[in-house]
């Protein structure tokens, strides 16, 4: 599946929930399912700048595809980075670079987050796009 198809699948899943409390619980559950990042990948270089919580992003190239793994010390933030891993991991770097991350706003998530967490979404997206650029450079 490409980015748009993955995003639509996520939107369809979120539509199943009646309110934002249930949606938050779902996002938190995505974070809980995210495998713990290996300690050697929890370095200062892997920290996403601009996040109130500590969020580590590890990227690896497999051919032209960017593989993502991540972790956080906050359950909601771990859920947020899990969304990015789900939407982007394994996609070609070119597709990640071209992906319109503002499409995540269709989830309604940004308007239901504290401003610092909403800004963290931008930081996560930017760092992933930077990793994609490095992969093809």
80 is catalytic: no
In contact, 109 and 121? CB cutoff 8 Å: yes
Catalytic residue among 34, 51, 87, 88: 51
117: its two tokens: 């967490």
Residue 90 DSSP class: T
Q: What are phi and psi of 74, to 5 degrees?
A: -125, 135
Helix (H) or strand (E) holding 62: strand 55-62
Question: Active-site residues: which are they?
Answer: 51
């Amino acid at each position: 599946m490409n980015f748009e198809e993955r995003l639509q699948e996520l939107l369809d899943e979120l539509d199943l929930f009646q309110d934002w409390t249930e949606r938050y619980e779902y996002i938190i559950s995505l974070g809980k399912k995210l495998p713990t990042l290996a300690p050697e990948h929890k370095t200062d270089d892997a920290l996403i700048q601009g996040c109130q919580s500590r969020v580590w992003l590890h990227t690896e190239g497999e051919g032209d595809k960017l593989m993502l793994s991540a972790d956080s010390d906050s359950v909601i933030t771990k859920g947020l980075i899990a969304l990015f891993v789900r939407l982007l991991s394994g996609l070609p770097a070119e597709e990640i670079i071209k992906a319109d991350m503002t499409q995540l706003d269709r989830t309604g998530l940004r308007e239901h987050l504290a401003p610092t967490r909403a800004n963290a979404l931008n930081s996560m997206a930017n760092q992933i796009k930077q990793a994609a650029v490095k992969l093809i450079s």
